[in-house]
Structure 1
Amino acid sequence: MRLLEQDLGYHFQNRFLLQKAMIHSSHAFEQGRQTHKDNETLEFLGDAVLDLTVGHALFRHFPEMREGDLTRLRAALVNERHLARMARDLDLGRYLLLGKGEEVNLGRGKDSILSCAFEAVAGAIFLDGGYEVAAEFVERHFTPWFDDRQQTMFLADAKSSLQELLQEQFNEAPRYVLEGEEGPDHSKTFHVSVRFRAETLGQGSARSKKVAEQEAAAMALKHLAKGQ
C-alpha cells in the first residue's frame, strides 16, 4: 500500500480506508463479510466527491466558460471510461481484492471495476483528509487532462455550443450551407460554412458533412470569442 500511496501522492492517516477502497464486493461476499466491508459505500461517496472537486477545479481553471460547457467537460472527465484509464495509470488493478469469479473473468482489467475503485479511493481520501486534500488530489491527477478533454469536447460539441450561444443572445439559430464538394464519390471532401443573418462566421472542410459543420462551428466560436 505504501507504493500506492506514493502514486496517489497522499499518505493516509487511517490506512484501513485505503485498504477498504480496494475490496471489491465479490471478494467480500466470498469471505462471508457483510456488505459494508467492501468498497461500495466509499465508491458512492467518491462519486459525489469527484463531481464537486472536479467541478470546482474546472470553475477555477475556466472562469469564462459557460455553464453548459463546464458540465460537458466535467462529464468528459468523470465517467467510467476515463476513470478506468486513470485507475490503470495508477495501477489500481494490482491492489484490488477480487473474488475468484472476477479473477477468472479478468476483473482487474474491467472498466466498471477500475472506475469504481478510483471513486472509492477518492472517497477514502476525502474521509481521511477532508475536502482540501481531496481537491489537491483532483488538481494533481485531473488538471493534466483539462486541455486535452476541452479540445476534444470543443470540436465534438461545437455545433451545440454555437447554437446555445446564438439562441441565448439573439434567439436565433445559425444556418449551415454546403458551399461545395470535390473528389470521387468514395472519397469526397465537403466544404461547409456557418452563417448567422448576413454574416459568415466560420468555414470547415472534411470527408463528411457533419464533421465539416463541426469544424465550421468551432471556427465560428473562436471568431465570436475574439469579438471580431
Structure 2
Amino acid sequence: MDKRRQVKEIEYKLGVIFKDENLLFTAITHSSYANQKKNIEFNERLEFLGDSVLQLVITEYLYLNYLDKSEGELSRKRALIVCENSLFDIAQKWQLGKYINMSKGEELTGGRERVSILADCVEAIIAAIYLDRGIDFAKPFILSNFRAIIDRAMSDEIVLDYKTKLQEKLQENGEININYNLVKYEGPPHRRKFYTEVMIEDKILGAGTGYSKKESEQNAAKEAVKNMEGKNE
C-alpha cells in the first residue's frame, strides 16, 4: 500500500484529517521498519508524548466527573483505562494491525498482532493528533474513543487478572480443580505462539492464545469468564 493511500485510510478510521500527514506516518512506523530505511523516523518518541497526553486527559476527566472517588480509587481506575490491554482494544477498533509499517521479520513473527506494538501505536497516534491539532482537538477525540472503556472501568468490568476472577467465580461454592492445558505452540523459538485451554474435569471453559504461556492462560480465563457471564444474563 502506498503512503498516501495508507494515511488516508487511517484518517478515515480515526475521523481525523491531518494538516501534517508525516506526523501520522511516523506514528504508525515501527522501529524495525525505520532501521531498514534511510532517514525514516519511527514512533517511539511520539509514544512517549502520547502516554502523557492520554494520562492528562483521562486524569482531568475522572477528577471532574467522579467527585465521590478518592485519589487512590481514581488512580486505580485510571490505570485500568490506560493499560496496555485497553490500548490494544482501541487499536483493534481502528484496525491498526494492517497499517503499521514494520519489517518483514517483525511481521512474520506476529508483529501485527502483538499487544505491545499495537498499544504503543495508539499512544503515538494520540501524540500525533495533539501535535497536529492541539489539545482542544485531542481531548474530545480521546474521550470519545475511550468512553466505553471509561464506563467499563468505573463499573468494575475491566479485569487485569482473569485467572483470579475465574477462580473466584468457580470456587464460590467450594474448592474446584482448575487446569490450564497447553494444547500446542507454533513459531520460531524467539516468537512462539501458545494455545491454551482452561478446564474443570473434562469440560473446556475457554481457550486463548498468546506469545507467552502466561498471556495465553490469561486469555483462556478471560474467554471462560465471558462465557460464564453470558450464561448468567
Give 1:4's aligned residue: 10
Q: How many residues align?
A: 160
Correspondent of 1:55 among 56, 59, 64: 59
Q: Any residues of structure 2 matched to 1:82-161 within 5 Å, and which?
A: 82-152=86-156
Give 1:23's aligned residue: 29
CA contact (8 A) 1:12 1:128 kept: yes
Q: Take 2:128 and 2:176, find their aligned partners in 1: how far apart are those partners?
A: 54
Q: TM-score, normalised by structure 1?
A: 0.64
Following TM superposition, by how much is the alpha carbon of 1:56 offset from its aligned partner in structure 2, in angstroms?
1.3
Aligned residue type for 1:51:
Q
Aligned residue type for 1:18:
L
Q: Take 2:130 and 2:70, find their aligned partners in 1: how far apart are those partners?
A: 28
- Where in structure 1 are there 5+ consecutive unaligned residues? 157-181, 188-228
Which structure is higher in helix share? 1
- CA RMSD in angstroms comes to 2.3
Q: 1:38 to 1:63 in 2, by over 3 A?
A: same
Superposed CA offset, 1:138-162 (max 9, x none): 1111122222111226999xxxxxx
The list of structure 1 runs, each at least 4 consecutive aligned residues, that deviate by more than 2 angstroms after superposition, is 153-156, 182-187
Superposed CA offset, 1:99-142 (max 9, x none): 12101101010001000000000000010011111111111111
Q: Equivalent pairs: percent with the same residue?
A: 36
Q: TM-score, normalised by structure 2?
A: 0.63
Following TM superposition, by how much is the alpha carbon of 1:7 offset from its aligned partner in structure 2, in angstroms?
2.2
Give 1:169's aligned residue: none
- Which has the larger Rg? 1
Q: Take 2:13 and 2:115, find their aligned partners in 1: how far apart are those partners?
A: 20
Q: Take 2:128 and 2:8, find their aligned partners in 1: how far apart are those partners?
A: 15
Give 1:13's aligned residue: 19
- Where in structure 2 are there 5+ consecutive unaligned residues? 1-6, 161-171, 178-233
